[in-house]
A and B are shown apart, each in its own frame.
Chain A
Amino acid sequence: AQKVTQAQTEISVVEKEDVTLDCVYETRDTTYYLFWYKQPPSGELVFLIRRNSFDEQNEISGRYSWNFQKSTSSFNFTITASQVVDSAVYFCALSEAKGSQAGTALIFGKGTTLSVSS
C-alpha cells in the first residue's frame, strides 16, 4: 500500500487560476513529518515546507498555502494566482519516526505535474 498518495498525476491551469494539489498519507506513527518539494525541469528538488504531526496549523507563504488535516490524513497544497514559473512536478513526502520504514528518510508520493500556461 502506498504511504503517500498523490492522486492527481497531471494538472493543467491557465495563469492566475488557483490550483490545489492533493496529498494523502498513511502512517501508524504518532510522530511523523510531512514535506512538499518542487522539481522544475532542471531537476533539483526544492524544499517548500515541512510540517510535524503535532502542528496542524495551516501555513501561508506568499502565493503558497498548506492545509494539514490529521482527521483525513491529508496535507494539501494550494497555489493562488498561479504563474508559468510554477510549472513543475510537485512531490509530497513523509518521514516516519518509528514506522515500518523508519530510517528510510523520505517516502515520496508519485508526484503531480503542474502545467501553467499563459
Chain B
Amino acid sequence: DTEVTQTPKHLVMGMTNKKSLKCEQHMGHRAMYWYKQKAKKPPELMFVYSYEKLSINESVPSRFSPECPNSSLLNLHLHALQPEDSALYLCASSQDRLPVNTEAFFGQGTRLTVV
C-alpha cells in the first residue's frame, strides 16, 4: 500500500470560514509534508513534519496552521484565507525526512477555492 489519502478532494470556502484539510497514510512513514501548487507551477513546500514534530515552516502565513495528531495523520487548518490562496494542496509522506535515499509519495490533493 503506497497510498496517501487526502480529504476533501475539493473545497470552496469564504474568506471568513475556518476549514481543515486532512491527510492520512498507513505506510509507517515518519515524515509528512504539505505542498501548495498553483496552476501551471511546480509544488512549493509549506511544512515538514518529522516524527510528529514540525521541523520546517517555509515562512507560511499564520492563516495556515498545520497539525500532526499522530504518525499517520496530518492536518492543515485554514482560517481567514485570501483568494490568492486558492490552489491545489498536496500532502506527501516519506519513510524518513528527505533528503535520504527514499521517495516521497503524494496524495491526490485538495483543490481549494477561496471566494
Pick the residue among A91, A102, A111 that contacts B99 (CB under 8 A): A102
Q: Judging by beta carbons under 8 Å apart, are B99 and A97 in contact?
A: yes
Q: For B45, what are the chain A residues with a Cβ–Cβ distance below 8 Å? A: 104-106
Question: Would you give the shortest CB distance from A103 to chain B, in whole angstroms?
Answer: 6
Q: Judging by beta carbons under 8 Å apart, are B108 and A103 in contact?
A: no
Number of interface residues of A (CB under 8 A): 26
The digit string for A48-77, where 1 denotes a CB below 8 A from any CB of B, is 001010000000000000000000000000
- The residue in chain B whose Cβ has the minimal distance to the Cβ of A92 is B42
Q: Judging by beta carbons under 8 Å apart, are B103 and A50 in contact?
A: yes
Q: Judging by beta carbons under 8 Å apart, are B99 and A32 in contact?
A: yes
Q: Judging by beta carbons under 8 Å apart, are A95 and B42 in contact?
A: no
For the complex, what is the distance from the CA of A47 to the CA of B48, rounded to whole Å? 19
For the complex, what is the distance from the CA of A102 to the CA of B98, rounded to whole Å? 9
Q: For A95, what are the chain B residues with a Cβ–Cβ distance below 8 Å? A: 98-99
From known contacts A108-B42, A108-B43, infer whether A35 and B109 are also in contact, taking CB-CB under 8 Å. Answer: no
Cβ < 8 Å to A, chain B residues 35-49: 41-43, 45, 48
Question: Would you give the shortest CB distance from B103 to chain A, in whole angstroms?
Answer: 5
Q: For B88, what are the chain A residues with a Cβ–Cβ distance below 8 Å? A: 43
Q: For B100, what are the chain A residues with a Cβ–Cβ distance below 8 Å? A: 33
For the complex, what is the distance from the CA of A95 to the CA of B109, rounded to whole Å? 21
Cβ < 8 Å to A, chain B residues 54-92: 55-56, 58, 88, 90, 92
From known contacts A43-B88, A45-B90, A47-B103, infer whether A106 and B109 are also in contact, taking CB-CB under 8 Å. Answer: no
Of A44, A46, A52, A105, most buried by chain B (CB within 10 Å of CB) is A105
From known contacts A105-B45, A110-B41, A110-B42, infer whether A44 and B103 are also in contact, taking CB-CB under 8 Å. Answer: no
Q: Judging by beta carbons under 8 Å apart, are B107 and A33 in contact?
A: no
Question: Would you give the shortest CB distance from B79 to chain A, in whole angstroms?
Answer: 24
Question: Would you give the shortest CB distance from B37 to chain A, in whole angstroms?
Answer: 8
Q: List, sorted by A's number, 7 A–B pairs whose CB atoms are closer than 8 Å.
A: A43-B111, A45-B92, A50-B101, A105-B92, A105-B98, A108-B43, A110-B41
Interface of B toward A, CB cutoff 8 Å = 33, 41-43, 45, 48, 55-56, 58, 88, 90, 92, 97-109, 111
Q: Give the top 9 A-B pairs by smallest Cβ distance, nearest first.
A: A108-B42, A95-B99, A45-B106, A44-B108, A43-B109, A105-B98, A50-B103, A95-B98, A47-B103
